[in-house]
Structure 1
Amino acid sequence: MTEHQGRPDNRRERAFNAPAVVIATIALFGAIHLWRVFLSEDADIAVLLRFAFIPARYDPASPYLPGMLGGEGAKLWTFLTYALLHGDWTHLLVNSVAMLAFGSAVAWRFGPLRFLFFSALCAIGGAAAYLALHLDEPQPVSGASAAISGQMAAAMRFMFEAGGPLGAFRRRGRLAFSAPAVPLAPALRNPQVLIFLLAWFGTNIVFGLGGMAIAGETAAIAWEAHIGGFLTGLVLFPLFDPKVARFRDRADASVALPSRPPAPHD
């Protein structure tokens, strides 16, 4: 193989490395958890009471309310800061691997700023879903699983499309993550998407029947938050996707209509 022939392969290999924003996010998770390891038990509990998501914080009649830290401000920031905390190293490792797999695909497509904003909104959506079903729950909730669930929903919208990383006529390198996505309704007719959805929701139903999801001893994130993050990502994907102008039904995609505006998307 000539030197000229070898260059495209090198570019493709680099393209599949994790984006810097994903590596930096995982490193931040690890640094925070390592810092907590060296805290005293009382100090670590104070961190959870100030930064974990605790549904009882929002119940004015909760007997646990006097012990909460952070005041009124914590009612706002904990919708996001809980995603930076993890129950134990296993919890952190599982979330890191999942973010490398699905978050990387989304970050390649969205770019770093859109990726971070999108992930933050999915974390907030997950916390809101958990709060709606556990208003008086005093157990702190932590972990990036809701944000990662949203990343999974976003990745599902383009990973299996023609030209996508797992679709027919798949491309290599960065181009694979720019494959045109179709609106949600046509996408749900894709057997690969349906299998992914059934597997994902089936797994979370099993978690729900078992009680709690992946957890540490003092904090956990439950299946309700996973589903809340997933649904948030599913709904917000077209608003963040930089390829939004390429959304269209498969039946219209092959017809050139220069005078017609882009088909609406969901």
Structure 2
Amino acid sequence: MGFLQHGHAMTDPSPFDLPERREPAFNVPAVVVALGAVLIAIHLVRYHVLSVPADNEVLVLFAFWPVRYVPEVLASGSAPGGLAADAWGFLSYAFLHGGTAHVLFNLLWMATFGSALARRFGTARFLAFSALCAIGGAAAHLATHFGEAVPMIGASAAVSGQMAGALRFVFELGGPLGAIRRTDPGAYRIPAVPLLRSLTNPQVFGFMAVWFGINLLFGLWSAPLTGEDASIAWQAHIGGFLAGLALFPLFDPVRRW
């Protein structure tokens, strides 16, 4: 979404002499572009530079493996990477993806909802918020898949948290997607109403109903994600989304409604 540009006053102005206003062709915050570039670069290196054994080693060390947290495995520190990998696995999994479609799908949603959140939060808050949502998604996955020896990868939990954060203000009156909307940077600084009150907004309620419905269908049907034997970690999506809803008031720099 482009911003309206306001020119300086001119002597004896004429509307026919004003230069044509142009919307930027690529209007995504720098932090979102940089994060997307990192995800793409990691994906390209894994699939086009590393050998299969080397890529498998990356998965062993940086994917999220619920089996690592079985008490006897965790206490022994015998899993590859040791206790350090046990800790960083809650976040590092979000930088790995199962295929090109997987990473592009996440980048599409991050460009849409993450951009709105980044404009409101700024770089540092946006990155910290996204990291905590990824951790929340891993925690939800661990709680529902405890002890499983199947890895989880992908930025979907972080992106789900970004969706939840953006949902708190984009549909408000004056917000970028509100029924009455602004198109200037102030659209991203609209005060957020309390969460329960926001649910009375049909746009917010409808979005959440569809989003949760789709993820529950993923769980019931075990929908394929990419490749064989891959499925969508829908519990992680929900964990990231709920983390985003809970964390938004703590990170929001705009005074509450």
1:23 to 12, 26, 33: 33
SS class of match (1:159)? coil
How far apart, CA to CA, are the structure 2 residues paired with 1:52 and 1:219? 14
- Quote the residue 2:250 is aligned against: 239
Structure 1 contact 122–146 (Cα < 8 Å) conserved: yes
How far apart, CA to CA, are the structure 2 residues paired with 1:177 and 1:221? 31
- Quote the residue 1:176 is aligned against: 187
Compute the TM-score of the two structures, normalised by the length of structure 2.
Answer: 0.87
Structure 1 contact 143–221 (Cα < 8 Å) conserved: no
Q: Please report how far the alpha carbon of residue 180 of structure 1 lies from its aligned counterpart in structure 2 after TM superposition.
A: 1.7
Q: Please report how far the alpha carbon of residue 188 of structure 1 lies from its aligned counterpart in structure 2 after TM superposition.
A: 0.8
1:80 to 59, 78, 91: 91
How far apart, CA to CA, are the structure 2 residues paired with 1:146 and 1:213? 17
Greater alpha carbon shift after TM alignment, 153-162 vs 15-24:
15-24
1:162 aligns with 2:173: yes
How far apart, CA to CA, are the structure 1 residues paired with 2:117 and 2:227? 28
- Judging changes above 3 Å, is the alpha-carbon distance between structure 1 residues 237 and 66 closer, same or farther for their aligned structure 2 residues? closer
- Judging changes above 3 Å, is the alpha-carbon distance between structure 1 residues 33 and 91 closer, same or farther for their aligned structure 2 residues? same
The aligned runs of 1:103-114 (5 Å cut-off) are 103-114=114-125
The number of equivalent residue pairs is 240
The aligned runs of 1:109-128 (5 Å cut-off) are 109-128=120-139
Structure 1 contact 159–166 (Cα < 8 Å) conserved: yes
How far apart, CA to CA, are the structure 2 residues paired with 1:117 and 1:3? 46
How far apart, CA to CA, are the structure 1 residues paired with 2:31 and 2:16? 34
How far apart, CA to CA, are the structure 2 residues paired with 1:16 and 1:201? 30
- Quote the residue 2:142 is aligned against: 131
SS class of match (2:225)? coil
Gaps of 5+ in 1: 249-266
SS class of match (1:22)? helix
- Judging changes above 3 Å, is the alpha-carbon distance between structure 1 residues 198 and 78 closer, same or farther for their aligned structure 2 residues? same
- Judging changes above 3 Å, is the alpha-carbon distance between structure 1 residues 238 and 67 closer, same or farther for their aligned structure 2 residues? same
- Quote the residue 1:54 is aligned against: 65
Q: Please report how far the alpha carbon of residue 151 of structure 1 lies from its aligned counterpart in structure 2 after TM superposition.
A: 0.4
How far apart, CA to CA, are the structure 2 residues paired with 1:15 and 1:230? 30
Summarize deviations over 1:45-82 as a string: whole Å, max 9, x none: 110000000000101356xx998421111110010000
- Judging changes above 3 Å, is the alpha-carbon distance between structure 1 residues 32 and 220 closer, same or farther for their aligned structure 2 residues? farther
- Judging changes above 3 Å, is the alpha-carbon distance between structure 1 residues 24 and 70 closer, same or farther for their aligned structure 2 residues? same
Structure 1 contact 87–220 (Cα < 8 Å) conserved: no
- Quote the residue 1:197 is aligned against: 208
2:107 to 66, 75, 96: 96
1:45 to 52, 56, 61: 56
How far apart, CA to CA, are the structure 1 residues paired with 2:78 and 2:240? 28
- Quote the residue 2:4 is aligned against: none
1:71 aligns with 2:95: no
Structure 2 contact 29–118 (Cα < 8 Å) conserved: yes
SS class of match (2:200)? coil
Q: Please report how far the alpha carbon of residue 39 of structure 1 lies from its aligned counterpart in structure 2 after TM superposition.
A: 1.3
Compute the TM-score of the two structures, normalised by the length of structure 1.
Answer: 0.84
Structure 2 contact 222–231 (Cα < 8 Å) conserved: no
How far apart, CA to CA, are the structure 2 residues paired with 1:216 and 1:83? 18
- Judging changes above 3 Å, is the alpha-carbon distance between structure 1 residues 36 and 206 closer, same or farther for their aligned structure 2 residues? same
| Identical counterparts, % of pairs | 56
SS class of match (2:43)? helix
- Judging changes above 3 Å, is the alpha-carbon distance between structure 1 residues 124 and 220 closer, same or farther for their aligned structure 2 residues? farther
How far apart, CA to CA, are the structure 2 residues paired with 1:219 and 1:23? 28
Q: Which amino acid aligns with 1:18?
A: V
SS class of match (2:168)? helix
Structure 1 contact 16–173 (Cα < 8 Å) conserved: no
How far apart, CA to CA, are the structure 1 residues paired with 2:28 and 2:69? 38
Q: Please report how far the alpha carbon of residue 15 of structure 1 lies from its aligned counterpart in structure 2 after TM superposition.
A: 9.9
Summarize deviations over 1:96-151 as a string: whole Å, max 9, x none: 11110110010011111100000000000000000011111111100000000000
